[in-house]
Amino acid sequence: MPSSSQSRSRPPVLVWFRDDQRLADNPALEHAVVTGHPVVCVYVHDPEPRETRLPGAAVRWWLHESLRELNAALAAMGGGLTVLRGPERQVVEEFATGIGAIEVCWNRRYSAAQRETDAAIKSALKQCGIAVSTFNGHLLREPWTVATRDAPPFQVFSAYWRAARREYSPEPPRPAPGRIDFFPVPEDATACVKDLSALALQPSAPDWAGGLRETWQCGEEAGQCQLQAFLADTLAGYASGRDNPAMHATSRLSPYLRFGNLSVRQVWYAARLSAAHAGHGPGNPRAAPMAGANLDKFLDELGWREFSYYLLYHFASLHQVNFRRQFDAMPWRADPEALRAWQRGETGYPLVDAGMRELWHTGWMHNRVRMVAASFLVKHLLIDWREGEVWFWGTLVDADEASNPASWQWVAGSGADAAPYFRIFNPVLQGQKFDPLGDYVRRWVPELARLPSASIHAPWLAQPAQLAAASVRLGHDYPLPLVSHQHARTRALEAMEGLRERAGRVTQKKIAR
């Protein structure tokens, strides 16, 4: 490895890490190393971003852990991560010019505000004589590369995904650089933070992150371990088991993809390779079809992530504005007490409450239960989907600007290719179907643990003797339902019918004109 004096004699290339906190399959980092110039690896923390949303509390916790792991990985190669604090537009330019960088490179982002910021930084750097190179390190297909025949963006997932897969022939993921020649950053460099703790990303008073620490290991190495465990133990039963929240039948890769501890190309290729091996297993003529079904179902989930970013790119303000604007007239209810009960997992519907408590403790919720819990807020309680989106934004370790609002709008019926509003999940039937033994509820709603499986998803229908034997006093140990399913369903359908009638009157007025 060249000495620090040799590295200092040549101008450096700056690699700006964002949601790509890994060394392997990182196009920006690979490009910087290939230039032959010494490299400076930076992360910029803007505590008061003007254009974008502040990250939620659970995301900040993961960010701290992920950056710590990234710094350790770089340190093992003889360098480290330089953390800068301040407005991105100002800090990147000042730091790059201050160290005499010849080039700055990064992997691209996709929200309107992020693209505007990146464009402004790119322009400012070029005016300073600093080259800029950008890459795709976050998606399988960048949004502008998947186009409809008639120009308007796709609004239906199946059509989008067919087009994206039909034209998709990516290069295999690349390994981490074998060595990196690091440029020594001056100790007094502009905006440098000496210690991650100075960013105040971790909770302290109170420290509510104990459940997150129990549940997750963060960073690139942990992401690879989780990926390999999923491929070895879970992918083979993914299609049939993924809807049962009591089973460990999902990948749990979403936070690693959110922060780029794993690249989606790494996951895509590893899953396809694993399924190919399983499909050629000896002695089982059904192996290939089963492997194919599991793989397709899993790749579809990656496709929904891609579609969410596609929507974010083409339709700004996804977390604020109804994709289907007729929902602007939806008569949402303001009910702070009901909202708080939902947030705390005290709705009286065990499957919903189990999911909300799992979320609070672990920063994650099983996907099937996410849909049921979200539907309950929007349709049973008739509370604006944006209230739920904000809560998930703050409590999910995998919350990102694309998937979180797109998924909420899908459940609410206001989004692209959304579930119809009249599709109203019955939380009791959902529990009986997908948690038939009640194991998931028992794990997260322990006050109901002694109820028999036949009663655990509707304890208000249990016999008094069953409740007494289980030491459950409804309304005291566990709440009665906030609202009856039938009443909530009728109210939601009436609200939707009123929305249709208003839309019809508007259409008639336009025709009359």
Q: What is the pLDDT of residues 454-468, one digit of tens each?
A: 999 999 999 999 999
**81-85 and 103-107 as β-strands: parallel, antiparallel, unpaired?**
unpaired
- Tell me, yes or no, if 161 is annotated catalytic: no
Considering the candidates 142, 208, 221, 332, report the single residue annotated as catalytic.
332
In this prediction, residues 179-196 reach a mean pLDDT of: 90
What was the pLDDT predicted at 508?
46
Considering the candidates 61, 106, 161, 385, report the single residue annotated as catalytic.
385
- Tell me, yes or no, if 107 is annotated catalytic: no
User: What is the distance in angstroms between the CA of the first residue and the CA of the last residue of the chain?
Assistant: 76
- Tell me, yes or no, if 497 is annotated catalytic: no
Output b/e per residue, 389-404; b: 16+ Cβ within 10 A. Answer: bbbbbbbbbbbbbbbb
- Tell me, yes or no, if 494 is annotated catalytic: no
pLDDT at 280 over 70: no
pLDDT at 17 over 80: yes
pLDDT range class, residue 485, cuts 50, 70, 90: very high
In this prediction, residues 3-18 reach a mean pLDDT of: 79
Q: What is the pLDDT of residues 386-421, one digit of tens each?
A: 999 999 999 999 999 999 999 999 999 999 998 788
The domains found in the chain, sorted by start residue, are 1-137 (3.40.50.620), 139-172+220-314 (1.25.40.80), 325-496 (1.10.579.10)
In this prediction, residues 185-210 reach a mean pLDDT of: 91
What was the pLDDT predicted at 152?
87
pLDDT at 512 over 70: no
pLDDT at 1 over 60: no
Q: What is the pLDDT of residues 284-314, one digit of tens each?
A: 555 567 689 999 999 999 999 999 999 999 9
Considering the candidates 51, 142, 208, 304, report the single residue annotated as catalytic.
304
- The 3-class secondary structure across 223-235, one letter per residue, is HHHHHHHHHHHCH
Q: What is the pLDDT of residues 316-367, one digit of tens each?
A: 899 999 999 999 999 999 999 999 999 999 999 999 999 999 999 999 999 9
Measured between alpha carbons, how far is 250 from 282 in angstroms, rounded to an integer? Answer: 26
pLDDT range class, residue 51, cuts 50, 70, 90: confident
Q: How far is CA 178 from CA 18, 33, 175, in A?
A: 22, 10, 8
Considering the candidates 301, 346, 447, 460, report the single residue annotated as catalytic.
301
In this prediction, residues 21-25 reach a mean pLDDT of: 98
In this prediction, residues 434-441 reach a mean pLDDT of: 98
- Tell me, yes or no, if 332 is annotated catalytic: yes
**103-107 and 13-17 as β-strands: parallel, antiparallel, unpaired?**
parallel
Sheet containing 13-17: which strands, arranged edge to edge?
A: 131-135, 103-107, 13-17, 39-45, 81-85, 192-193
Considering the candidates 346, 367, 447, 460, report the single residue annotated as catalytic.
367
Beta-strand (E) ranges in 114-191?
Answer: 131-135
Output b/e per residue, 14-42; b: 16+ Cβ within 10 A. Answer: bbbbbbbbbbbbbbbbbbbbebebbbbbb
- Tell me, yes or no, if 408 is annotated catalytic: yes
Measured between alpha carbons, how far is 87 from 89 in angstroms, rounded to an integer? Answer: 6
Sign for the pseudo-dihedral over CA of 312, 314, 317, 321: negative
- Bridge partner list, 362: none
The contacts of residue 210 (CB under 8 Å, 6+ apart) are none
338, 310 Cβ separation under 8 angstroms: no
What was the pLDDT predicted at 384?
98
In this prediction, residues 206-230 reach a mean pLDDT of: 97
pLDDT at 511 over 90: no
pLDDT at 252 over 50: yes
Beta-strand (E) ranges in 275-329?
Answer: none
Mean residue pLDDT of the chain comes to: 93
Sign for the pseudo-dihedral over CA of 332, 338, 340, 345: negative
